[in-house]
Structure formats: C-alpha cells, structure tokens
Amino acid sequence: MSRYDDLVHRIRDRGSFLCVGLDPDRARLPQHLGTEPQAILDFCETIIQHTAEYAVSYKINLAFFEVLGSRSMELFAAVREMIPSDCLLIADAKRGDIGNSSRMYAETFFDTYQCDAVTVAPYMGKDSVQAFLDHQDHWTVLLALTSNSGSQDFQRLSLQAGGQVYEQVLHQSMRWADKSQLMYVVGATHPEMFQQLRNIIGDRFLLVPGVGAQGGTVAEVCAHGLTDDVGLLINSSRSIIYASSSADFGEAAAAAARDLRDQMRDVAASQLLRR
C-alpha cells in the first residue's frame, strides 16, 4: 500500500481528518501546572490522551520547544514519544536551507526524532526541498498559501507568466515528488482558493491550519477542498489546546476535538466511508 493509500486508510479508520496542533506556550498553560519544563510534558500528555480518539494526526510546533532552552530537544523527543503510533506525526519546523544544511534538518526530524512529516519553506527552491524528499519514506509538507495575513505579501504576487507565486510553487514542486511523499500547507483562511488549487494539485493532501483561533471553518474548507479520498488534514491548535485554562483543560480539549471531528463526519460523510 502506498503511503498515500495508507493515510487515506487511517483517516477512514478513524473517521476523522483532524490534526491536533501542539503549540505549548508556557505563558498560556493552566496555572495549576506551573511553568517548569515538566509542565510542558504534563500539558501535552493530557492533551494527547484526551484527543487521541478524535485525531488522525498531531503537529508539534518546534518554535514552542526551542524557546525552552538547553533541554528543548529532550522535551520535544519526550512529547514526540507520546504520540500514538497510528497517528501521523508532523514536525512543524518550517525549515529550508541550501542542500547540505537541509540534509541535516531532514536527518534531524526524520531519523533522529522519527517524525513522519516535516513542514518545509519553499523560498530557497528545489535543492533546499530535495534534501527532505530524498527521505522517500517520509512526507514533506511544503508551505504554499499560509493562513496568516502576511500570505498576501509575497505568496500572492502576480507573475508575469500568469498565476501567483504560490501557484508556481505548486506547479514546480509537483514535478519533484508524487502524492505519497509531498503535501502542501494551505490556510483555512483562504477557502475561496481551494478549488483553483485543486486544479493544479489534483488529489494531493493539504495540511490546513487556521481553523479555530485564526477564523477558518471546517465547513468552508471541506466545501471547496475535499477530494474523493478526503485529501485534507485540518489542523487546529489553540482552539483545542487552550479550550480551557482550568483543571478541566483535558476535557475541554476533548470536547473541542470531538466537535471538529463531528463536523468532519457531517460534511464529509461519503468521503469517510470505507471503499
């Protein structure tokens, strides 16, 4: 079974294409956990235990680990170990450098930390992405059209040859790897762009951040972005992990994740059926 088919299978098995984003901000942890590094582990463990039933993927944001200082990667590794083995584990690192440096980043996330996928920034072009694609048993998740306001600044510039910069990123990178190895980040804040995107990338998977705190909705994303094989991993971070700042934050996270999962089941009922 190809890695593409395997992901579709996992999604249908779980009846969910929810990706839970782990952005454990020390300043936003429930007070009773404290602010020591152990609090990060306790927080993530509770969130994962309470959401695993509803999620098919977890995305760990490296920014919130690196800031923890000398123990940062030990803490990242510990959280990485908490992710259920049947969930797709995405290292949200947004790396990208010249070939020999990108090779180190790829080795870090794919080999050292055994992540299934890593997010990569396209600005430096093919050789900066190729080092990740050389790990053919893993997913490279290339930034295309991000969810933030700054996505307007460069990604959406119109090109002389037609189309916009992010479309050219899609067109070119499509030739670098197939749908079992390369997926794209496209923000939920651009639902009107999904149909146009699908014309370029066919049924490739999209990792879609921006649902919840950033304003996107499951219904909008699905209305324009679903394929017969689902083709979406919808990520929500803050609306799940900070659903409550009290002792019940695990239960609140579960409720928020369940709600998103249920929305997915409503909107994508036929796509989630096993074939």
CA 268 to chain centre: 19
Q: Note whether 158 binds a second copy by CB under 8 A.
A: yes
Q: Note whether 104 binds a second copy by CB under 8 A.
A: yes
Beta strand pairing call for 206-208 and 88-95: unpaired
Q: In angstroms, what is the minimal distance from the CB of 271 to a second copy?
A: 28
Q: Note whether 200 binds a second copy by CB under 8 A.
A: no
Strand (E) or helix (H) holding 142: strand 139-145
Sign of CA dihedral 195, 199, 200, 203: positive
CB nearer a second copy, residue 16 or residue 146? 146
Q: Kindly tell me which residue out of 6, 153, 248, 266 binds a second copy, with binding defined by CB under 8 A.
A: 153
Q: Note whether 112 binds a second copy by CB under 8 A.
A: yes
Q: Kindly tell me which residue out of 85, 160, 199, 270 binds a second copy, with binding defined by CB under 8 A.
A: 160
Q: In angstroms, what is the minimal distance from the CB of 274 to a second copy?
A: 35
Q: Which residue has the tokens 């928020």?
A: 256
CB nearer a second copy, residue 154 or residue 196? 154
Q: In angstroms, what is the minimal distance from the CB of 11 to a second copy?
A: 25
By three-state DSSP, how is residue 182 classified?
strand
Q: Which residues of 189-227 are buried (b: 16+ CB within 10 A; e: fewer)?
A: bbbebbeebbebbeebbbbbbbbbbbebbbebbbeebbb
By CB under 8 A, the residues from 207 to 226 that bind a second copy are 214
Could you confirm whether 94 is annotated as catalytic?
A: yes
| Residue of 154, 134, 136, 137 lying closest to 146 (CA atoms) | 154
Q: In angstroms, what is the minimal distance from the CB of 265 to a second copy?
A: 28
Distance, CA of 265 to CA of 273 (rounded, Å): 10
Beta strand pairing call for 182-186 and 18-22: unpaired
Q: Note whether 72 binds a second copy by CB under 8 A.
A: yes
Total of residues contacting a second copy (CB under 8 A):
59
Distance, CA of 48 to CA of 58 (rounded, Å): 9
Q: Which residues are catalytic?
A: 94
Give the residues lining the site for a second copy (CB under 8 A): 23, 25, 61, 63-64, 66-67, 69-74, 77, 92, 94-102, 104-105, 107-108, 112, 121-129, 143, 146-155, 157-161, 165, 168-169, 172, 214
